[in-house]
């Protein structure tokens, strides 16, 4: 059984100077989305496992959260002490009905928004990645470099689930 995302704990004890490598992880997510969404027919991509999100819903969720990522980057730039809380109910993803959206459209939307995220991160001075704010759910200080790492880990969490679903459904 996998550890749920909300049950994960994080230790951010690496040098801020690793931010370029972490941005590369974030950049690579678009190619991974394309690979997964092009690897199986629609009936597998939209199939749910015991009521849990389908492959397309997992991918759509990552697209939805990139809007929050962009907002949070701007919160770091603005120097807020506490980041705004995310909607842990994932209402946006549930209401988007990604199983009725083509895989190609989900890939396109994700790539466009992810390019925005990466471009914004790359526009920042190196010193900005050391700026810190409290993450509301984890209730710990998180530097911008930590937040970008956190986002890359969140991507990997959902990519792992997508891969599990492909194996489960024979994709």
What is the mean pLDDT of the segment spanning 102-118?
98
Rounded to an integer, what distance in angstroms lies between the CA atom of residue 154 and that of residue 32?
A: 14
Residue with tokens 């969404």: 37
| Per-residue pLDDT at 9 exceeds 90 | no
- Closest by Cα among 4, 27, 57 to 165: 57
Q: Assign 127 a pLDDT band (cuts: 50, 70, 90).
A: very high
What residues pair up with 141 in beta bridges, in sequence order? 134
H/E stretch holding 141: strand 140-143
What is the mean pLDDT of the segment spanning 24-42?
97
Residue 47 has, within 13 A of its CA and on its CB side, a CA count of 15
Q: Are strands 140-143 and 132-135 parallel, antiparallel or unpaired?
A: antiparallel
| Per-residue pLDDT at 112 exceeds 90 | yes
Q: Assign 41 a pLDDT band (cuts: 50, 70, 90).
A: very high
List domains and CATH numbers for the chain.
19-169 (1.20.120.450)
pLDDT more than 90, % of the chain: 87
pTM for the model stands at: 0.94
> CA dihedral defined by 41, 46, 49, 53, rounded to 10 degrees?
140
Q: How far is CA 37 from the centre of its chain?
A: 16
Contact 128, 77 (CB under 8 A): yes
What Å distances lie between residue 129 and 54, 80, 95, 149, CA to CA? 34, 14, 33, 11
3-state SS string over 11-56?
Answer: CCCCCHHHHHHHHHHHHCHHHHHHHHHCCCCHHHHCCCECCECCHH
What is the mean pLDDT of the segment spanning 71-97?
95
Contact 75, 126 (CB under 8 A): no
Q: Assign 88 a pLDDT band (cuts: 50, 70, 90).
A: confident
């Amino acid at each position: 059984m996998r550890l749920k995302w909300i049950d994960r704990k994080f230790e951010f004890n690496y040098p801020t100077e690793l931010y370029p490598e972490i941005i590369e992880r974030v950049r690579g997510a678009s190619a991974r989305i394309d690979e997964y969404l092009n690897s199986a027919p629609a009936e597998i991509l939209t199939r749910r496992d015991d009521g849990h999100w389908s492959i397309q819903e997992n991918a759509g969720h990552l697209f939805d959260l990139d809007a929050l990522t962009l907002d949070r980057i701007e919160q770091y730039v603005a120097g807020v002490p506490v980041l705004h809380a995310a909607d842990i109910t994932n209402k946006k993803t549930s209401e988007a009905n990604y199983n009725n959206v083509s895989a190609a459209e989900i890939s396109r939307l994700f790539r466009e928004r992810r390019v925005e995220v990466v471009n914004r991160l790359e526009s920042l001075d190196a010193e900005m990645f050391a700026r810190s704010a409290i993450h509301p759910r984890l209730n710990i200080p998180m530097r911008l470099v930590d937040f970008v790492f956190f986002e890359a880990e969140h991507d990997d969490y959902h990519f792992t689930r997508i891969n599990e679903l492909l194996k489960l459904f024979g994709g």
